A and B are shown apart, each in its own frame.
Chain A
Amino acid sequence: MERLTEERRSQILVLRTQLKEAMIREDEKEICEAVGRFRMALGDHAGFPEVEPRFAQPKEDKHAPNYDEIVSFWKKRIEASREIFEHLPEFSRGILPGAKKPTVTLRNPAWISMSLLKVSQFQL
């Protein structure tokens, strides 16, 4: 697909600003109209990723992975983050081992916490 021209990009930026203003006014009809104009300006690009997707395609449908191997994979992933778990209080405040100030976003400890909750029995 051809890249968007500079002129089209500028037009899209203006339309995006209009959409933002409609959103601040919380006007659903106006929002939908602004999206319609935005979509028109995008043309064939509407609904297509900005970066060409890198598809990985198995050549044939295989059986689902073996359950024990998934458990083993999980354990290896946790083991690979051993350093993080040894410095968990700091990491949970965004600080990597050896760093003096936060350099990690809080989404990371949040994800780890939710993952551990998903596989555990907590109400013993």
Chain B
Amino acid sequence: MDKHVPAEGFPVPALKEYWAQYRTWVGVILDNLLEVQDKELGVFPFPDLRGVHPRFGPHIERMLAQNPNILRGNWVVKDNSRPELGNGDGGGQFDNGLTGRAVVEGYAHLKDKRYLESARSAAEWAIRQSVVPNWNYNAFSVHLLARLYRENTEKRYLETALKKLRLGVFPGQMENGRWVDPHNARRSYHCIMLNAILETYQAMPAGYPEKDEVFHHLYIGIENLVTEILKCGVSAFDFPLTALCTFDELAEKNQQVMRIRGDIRKAINRIANLVFDSKFIRFNSIPYPGPSDLEAIATYLKWRTEKGE
């Protein structure tokens, strides 16, 4: 198996004095995430944001009007495989996929079996959900399953990730690499799909039958992104920066990536200069440091550390 990222990660020596603190914080976060994971369904739920959030609040009101069973205390839980909790739009895959991936990463680094069990429960929920027309929702489940497969090589994790790609991600991608619908054509969502495809590609053993097909979808998506950044500019930075840094790392093993590496690095540099000039960061105007941009900055920092620059 291509174990691209070693379990110990690529630490940033310049932050060494903080590692112990970070370790404590990660433990606190993961232990508390496990507390709120739905014990019966395995899903990481969504908070009841009625009256709190301008977009999610009304959306939850509409869902509850259709099916009041999905409210459990302060949380909304859905499961398309259970009629009494079903018929959702598939949006639960976003938080479940992302939070499930956080506990997989926690297991990979800290080797606490509780995190592995938690990730497996979240994965079981993801496996039970049918794909939905909003391609990026499916991608979050794909990402979780592929990442979990790299820590626990149960075949059906990879097989289900590939099935979800075939049914719920690839059909929406056009020949030029973009996703067809105006929502998923936005750069953040485009890169959510690419990051999931990247994870699956990395999880597939060398010579796996569908590896070339997966790479094709990845490549045309990245090429389209890079071309747009170089011609038109940067329209989103968090998911694109993560996708491009991770894709660039494939170049050592793949000649096709090597051929466009110059442009990939130019695109990374364009994004990075905007981010670190702090001209772009306020695009994400939330009252605490935007966690998705924090992950992008961490990915870039790790990437720069690996390159030794």
* B305: min CB distance to chain A, Å: 8
Shortest Cβ distance from residue A25 to the other chain B in the assembled complex, whole angstroms: 9
Q: At the interface, yes or no: B131 with Cβ under 8 Å from chain A?
A: yes
Chain B nearest CB, measured from A32 CB (Å): 5
Q: How large is the interface on A (under 10, 10 to 19, 20 to 34, 35 or more residues)?
A: 35 or more
Least distance between B93 CB and chain A CB atoms (Å): 11
Whole-angstrom CA separation of A49 from B187 in the bound complex:
8
**A80 surroundings in chain B (CB, below 8 A):** 288-289
**Inter-chain residue pair count (beta carbon < 8 A):** 270
Instruction: State the main secondary structure of chain A at its contact with B.
Output: helix
- B215 close to A (CB within 8 Å): no
Interface centre among B49, B109, B181 (most CB of A within 10 A): B181
Contacts A49-B186, A109-B29, A114-B295: A122 and B23 contacting too (C-beta < 8 A)?
Answer: yes
Known contacts A74-B301, A93-B32; A107 and B130 CB within 8 A of each other: no
Q: Is the CB of A92 within 8 A of B32?
A: yes
**Is A118 a contact partner of B132 (Cβ separation < 8 A)?**
no
Residues of B within 8 A of A42 (CB): 180-182
Chain A CB within 10 Å, residue with most, of B7, B10, B297: B297
B237 to chain A, nearest CB (A): 9
Hey, which chain B residues are within 8 Å of A32, CB to CB? 171
Check B15 against A56 for contact (C-beta < 8 Å): no
Q: Are B167 and A47 in contact (CB under 8 A)?
A: no
The proximity string for A residues 69-110 relative to B, scoring 1 for CB distances below 8 Å and 0 otherwise, is 111011101101101110011001110100001111111111
Q: Is A14 an interface residue (CB 8 A)?
A: no
C-alpha gap A95/B32 in the complex (Å): 11
| With contact pairs A16-B133, A23-B168 given, residues A115 and B182 touching in the complex (Cβ less than 8 Å) | no
Note all chain A residues with C-beta closer than 8 A to B45.
106
Partner of A120, one of B22, B48, B101, B299: B22
Nearest CB on A from B11, distance (A): 4
Bound Cα distance A56, B109 (Å): 37
The closest CB in chain B to the CB of A27 belongs to B167
B274 and A119: CB pair below 8 A?
no
Q: CB of B206 within 8 A of chain A?
A: no
Do residues B182 and A121 form an inter-chain contact, with CB atoms below 8 A?
no
On chain B, the residues within 8 Å of A28 by CB distance are 166-167, 171
B178 at interface, CB cutoff 8 A: yes
Residue of A nearest to B7 (CB): A123
Check if A94 sits within 8 Å of B187, measured CB to CB.
no
CA distance A104 to B35 in the complex (A): 15
Given contacts A81-B289, A93-B32, contact A117 B270 (CB under 8 A): no
Question: Of the 9-residue stretches B63-71, B150-158, B228-236, B253-261, which lies at the interface with chain A?
Answer: B228-236
CB-CB under 8 A from A63, the residues of chain B are: 269
Q: Are A35 and B172 also in contact (CB < 8 A) when A23-B133, A77-B294, A113-B102 are?
A: yes
Contact of A50 among B132, B171, B182, B300 (CB under 8 A): B182
- Name the CB-closest residue of A to B109: A122
User: Residues of B contacting A110 with CB < 8 Å?
Assistant: 29, 33, 95, 98-99, 101-102, 291
Measured in the bound complex, the distance between the Cα atoms of B232 and A119 in whole Å is: 31
CB contact list, B282-299 vs A, under 8 A: 283, 288-289, 291-292, 294-295, 297-299
Cross-interface CB contact of A116 among B14, B25, B94, B132, cutoff 8 Å: B25
**C-alpha gap A25/B167 in the complex (Å):** 10
- Complex formed: what's the CA distance from A83 to B12 in Å? 24
**Do B234 and A104 touch (CB < 8 A)?**
no
**Closest Cβ neighbor of A4 among chain B residues:** B182
Q: Mark A19-31, 1 if CB is under 8 A from B, else 0.
A: 1100110101001
Query: Do the beta carbons of B28 and A89 come within 8 Å of each other?
Result: yes
Would you list the 5 A-B pairs with minimal beta carbon distance, nearest first?
A: A57-B233, A111-B291, A55-B233, A92-B32, A121-B11
**Can you spell out 20 A-B residue pairs with CB atoms less than 8 angstroms apart?**
A31-B167, A48-B185, A49-B185, A50-B182, A63-B269, A77-B289, A92-B29, A92-B33, A93-B35, A94-B36, A102-B48, A103-B52, A104-B47, A111-B98, A113-B33, A115-B295, A116-B22, A120-B22, A122-B8, A123-B109
